[in-house]
Amino acid sequence: MGFLDILLGRTKPVAPDLDQLFALPSAAVTLEVATGFRPTGAGAVCFATVEGAAFEQTHREVQALLDADTDRGGNPVELRQDDYGYSWLVSQRSPDQLAQLVNDLHAVNSSLEANGFGPQLLCSLAAFEDERGRRLALVYLYKRGSFYPFAARGRCRARRGSGQEGEVDAGRRRGQGRGAGRNRRVPGGGRRPASYKKSPGAPTPPAPARPPPARRRDSALELQVKAALASDLRVEQDLSRWFPVWGAPGL
């Protein structure tokens, strides 16, 4: 950094340090003790979508390398694209294979970087889940060399075998049981009376569209995780860099 940069308050960009990913397994132990979140075995690398034969060749090489692992406990590596146009190379391991998952993430980043696609790399993540079915991601920012937690606030998913499936299913079926059709809402407001009968040949009115659910982050949980992992990971201190990863694989 030059003297002029110091005077103007410019900061030197942090060089990518992929070896930071290897701190995840030990951080996962701290995370489970502090919050009860455990690895799900899902992880992914996000990058700006790239077109061209060079990238396709690199993608095939990376996928072949990772799929050749005979100890893989989950699905083969796959390429997905989210609703925002970003690409995710997804690896699925068994929950007790976090170290192997980290090796996958490191290999994907390294291969893309070595083939000239470093500028397109955005982040990598590993997914976690607690007994209440809440999902959490530890996100590694490639261009910052730091981590941050991301947690979406929403309906908890009952874990299979937890004894809560019936309660969740009952909530989903509420209003759909016997006699529910007699009091359905109709466009324009109000309810159909019990004696309502549709005229022969009359078209069925469309059901009113439901507004999309609002997306909210669980900021309290994110800050709790930040404090718990301060000694285990290089946590991103600039909260404006904690970008939401809505719809990311594993979440």
Helix, strand, or coil here: 89? strand
Q: In the prediction, which pLDDT does 37 show?
A: 98
Q: Residue 176 pLDDT > 80, yes or no?
A: no
CA distance 151 to 128: 10
For the chain, strand residue ranges (E) read 38-48, 78-81, 86-92, 121-129, 135-141, 146-150, 152-153, 216-217
What is the enclosing helix (H) or strand (E) of 28?
helix 24-35
Is residue 193 very low, low, confident or very high in pLDDT (cuts 50, 70, 90)? very low
CA distance 129 to 43: 13
Cβ atoms of residues 44 and 86 within 8 Å:
no
Q: In the prediction, which pLDDT does 34 show?
A: 97
Helix, strand, or coil here: 247? coil
Q: 50-62 burial, b if ≥16 CB within 10 A, otherwise e?
A: eeeeebeebbeeb
CA distance 233 to 27: 7
Q: Which residue has the tokens 């996928």?
A: 63
Confidence (pTM): 0.71
Q: Residue 6 pLDDT > 70, yes or no?
A: no
Most confident of 53-57, 63-67, 144-148, 161-165: 144-148
Label residue 15 exposed, middle or buried (CB < 10 Å: 0-12, 13-18, 19+): exposed
Helix, strand, or coil here: 129? strand
Say which residue, 85 or 188, is predicted with more confidence: 85
Q: Residue 171 pLDDT > 60, yes or no?
A: no
Q: In the prediction, which pLDDT does 83 show?
A: 85
Is residue 51 very low, low, confident or very high in pLDDT (cuts 50, 70, 90)? confident
List CB contacts of 198: < 8 A, sequence separation 6 or more: 204
Is residue 201 very low, low, confident or very high in pLDDT (cuts 50, 70, 90)? low
Is residue 185 very low, low, confident or very high in pLDDT (cuts 50, 70, 90)? very low
Q: What pLDDT, in 10s, does the model give residues 77-95?
A: 888 888 888 989 999 999 9
Is residue 167 very low, low, confident or very high in pLDDT (cuts 50, 70, 90)? very low
Which of these ranges, 72-76, 116-120, 180-184, 236-240, has the smallest mean pLDDT? 180-184
Q: In the prediction, which pLDDT does 50 show?
A: 76
Take residue 134 and report the two structure tokens written for it: 């809440």
C-alpha 179: how far from chain center: 40
- Give the residue from 191, 194, 169 showing the smallest Cα distance to 182: 194
CB atoms within 10 A of CB 156: 13
